[in-house]
Amino acid sequence: MSAPPLAVVAAIARNGVIGAGGGLPFRLPSDLKRFRALTMGKPMLMGRKTFQSIGRPLPGRETIVVTRAPDFSAPGVLVAATPDDALALGRARAAAMGADEISLIGGAQLYAALLARTQRLHVTFVDLEPEGDVRFPPLDWSQWRETAREAPEQPPGDEAPSFFASFERAEG
């Protein structure tokens, strides 16, 4: 059996912004609901800053934090020193959990480090250009083929229109 694929889960504004001041640069309850559905029952890889912005392990998922800080620990969290270690740990945990993919949820440094080994993208495209200090790394979209798109009506509480799309790495 092959290893479960690594899948980026991200909400990206038109200007590439994914973070601002240690948090999200927009309020989109519909994206948070989709995030929960996409990551439930799976190992989630994230950087330390992303973990600290969430503040706790999320129920129903395994949290793997990548950090160079040797003294970092948090209850209910697995810690990896490098992106490679995190990916190996994610693969082992996915196999133990019976998960069909490993979720890579940020931040920008970890996305950049693992993008070449990512097989899937689950992106919420947000129709805003917010101020922010974290951007999604450059991506060659010609290497990806869209497999699904959903443009939900903007629910109450969402700050901006958005649409969800999934991609698989193109062969060859």
Q: Which CATH architecture has domain 6-169?
A: 3-Layer(aba) Sandwich (3.40)
Q: Residues 6 or more apart from 79 whose CB is under 8 A from it? A: 64, 65, 67, 72, 73
- For residue 120, what are the β-bridge partners? 7, 168
107-139 tens-digit pLDDT: 999 999 999 999 999 999 999 999 999 999 999
pLDDT bracket for residue 45 (50, 70, 90)? very high
pLDDT bracket for residue 155 (50, 70, 90)? confident
Q: Residues 6 or more apart from 67 whose CB is under 8 A from it? A: 47, 48, 79, 80, 81
Length in residues, the chain: 172
Q: Which of 64, 59, 84, 89 is nearest to 74 (CA)?
A: 64
Task: Sketch the domain layout of the chain as residue ranges.
Answer: 6-169
Return the H-helix or E-strand segment holding 166.
strand 162-169
How much is the mean pLDDT over the chain? 95
pLDDT at 81: 97
Q: What is the pTM of this model?
A: 0.95
Q: Which of 61, 9, 60 is nearest to 31 (CA)?
A: 9
For residues 71-80, give the mean pLDDT. Answer: 96
Handedness of CA 64, 66, 68, 74 (dihedral sign): negative
pLDDT at 104 > cutoff 70:
yes
Q: Name the phi and psi angles at 58, rounded to 5.
A: -90, 140
pLDDT bracket for residue 58 (50, 70, 90)? very high
